Amino acid sequence: MTLISTNLFGLLFLLLVYSSSSFAQSFSGVIVDDQNQVLANVQIRDTVNNISAFSSIDGYFTIRREINGVFEISKSGYEKRYYNSLVNLDTIQIYSESRVLNSVEINSRATLPVLDKSEVNVLDYIVYEEFVLTLYAYKSGKFLSLENNGGQPRNFSLGKLKAKSLFEDCYGNVHILTKDRAYQIWIDDELSFISNVDLEMFNEILAPCIASIDSNFVIASYSNHQKKYSLAIKKNQEKQFTPFFNSWDHEEEVAANALYWEIVALYMASSDTISNIITNKMWDGKNMRELALNYELLLRIGFYESIIGKEIAVQSFQVNDHVLAFDLCFDSLHIFNKDGNQLFQTNLENKVKKGERTVIMDKMQNNFYQLHFYKGIYSVSHINLTNGRLEDSFQLNDIPFAENIQIFNGWIYYLISNNGFHKLYRKKM
């Protein structure tokens, strides 16, 4: 199994030609059960456009695909599965209802530990293709664990590397991040380190990339001071990035700017010429705390920091050769093609007035969910990409104050802190 396809230095200075399937007019595949046996007479129904097809005796099917479609995969005695029209799958697996019921009865624990060792402290994890890659500390060392959704994990020692977190870039490469460097890795029979680069350069050049489609390269940028989030694209042969999407909280920007210049003016009036860090060109224009000469300034700086400290709630994802932008500031969903042209826009339903909202993606099924956190409790809702509605909502009452929640192939993964140790768990949705 390979966790790398390109060299990091090549990524930093060259635009890779990265193949990706284009949006087709049909959706084809094969249906199998939990034993990987083909299933006939399975209905594949586009619930939006009222189009249906059935799998053949060999399990194969073909159905017309529209960009706003949502496919329901159903057969009597089996769990229903749902996929949006952007998904590209050769094989779709559905599970018998008896298997699901038996698994609940046999397993008395609805929540399962991923690394079941008492002294393991999970530092970070990512879901990668069909694997879960976990970075953890155990006794005096640090390790990587590679697990195939409940299978036997493979563990690799990191030696003396002071790893802090994991990162998957837009090209599908995995990096281990330390305090000051990013290490690109490759896992096959063994763990190999391909290259490493200064973390500041990594964060400036590679980390902003959110999509690599054919020879096009999409980056995201945001400014908390300007309260603006942008997507820009660099196409093949072009030298510059061209913005194609902006989300701008103008009211917050006006408030932040007004406070900023009010603080500067008050500092100038309160500071003498010799110690004035602005006139002496000793101030970077960003660290407002350096201007806190008195309580009045400190109070205004606190208000300013509360405004710019509020993150711009926009998240972007690549799904095959499309880019999806979820704008939680203005409750809208935007779908773009590989050239940055908007294909579709709809409102996002917002049922809550308080708390924090984020969007998470199940990469195995290309489904999206809204995660809402309020008073220590999380709720999860499936996002219908055709109309922005929230569906099949439920609360995670049994895992209050969980951290780093992700969804992978219909399982919810999360971290729980206990006595200074973080443990990774999963539970079936």
Report the CATH number at residue 58.
2.60.40.4130
| Nearest residue to 400 (alpha-carbon basis) of 384, 376, 422, 373 | 376
The domain boundary residue, chosen from 44, 70, 85: 85
Q: Is residue 9 part of a domain?
A: no
Work out the angle between the directed axes of helices 250-270 and 295-308 (0-180°, nearest 10).
160
Which segments in the chain show pLDDT lower than 50?
1-2, 4-24, 99-109
How would you class 338 by CB atoms within 10 Å of its CB: exposed for 0-12, middle for 13-18, buried for 19 or more?
buried
pTM of this structure: 0.67
Distance separating alpha carbons of residues 215 and 153, to the nearest angstrom: 35
Give the pLDDT confidence score for residue 429 in this predicted structure: 79
Residue 285 located in a structural domain:
yes
Q: How far apart are CA 384 and CA 382, in angstroms?
A: 6
Residue 74 falls within a domain, yes or no? yes
Domain end position, chosen among 85, 100, 131: 85
- Is 270 inside a domain boundary? yes
From the list 234, 227, 195, the residue with the least C-alpha distance to 211 is 234
What pLDDT, in 10s, does the model give residues 374-409? 888 899 999 999 999 999 888 888 887 889 999 988
Residue 385 CA: distances (Å) to CA of 56, 217, 340, 359, 423? 29, 24, 18, 12, 33
Residue 138 lies in a domain: no
In the prediction, which pLDDT does 127 show?
84
CA angle 371, 372, 373 (to 5 degrees): 120
pLDDT digits (tens, 9 = 90+) for 20-31: 333 446 778 899
Tell me whether residue 222 is in a domain. Answer: no
Q: How many whole angstroms separate alpha carbon 247 and alpha carbon 222?
A: 9
Domain count, the chain: 2
Q: Which domain holds residue 280?
A: 250-308
Determine, yes or no, domain membership for 63.
yes
- Domain-embedded: residue 76: yes
Q: What's the order of all strands across the beta sheet hosting 91-93? A: 60-64, 26-32, 91-93
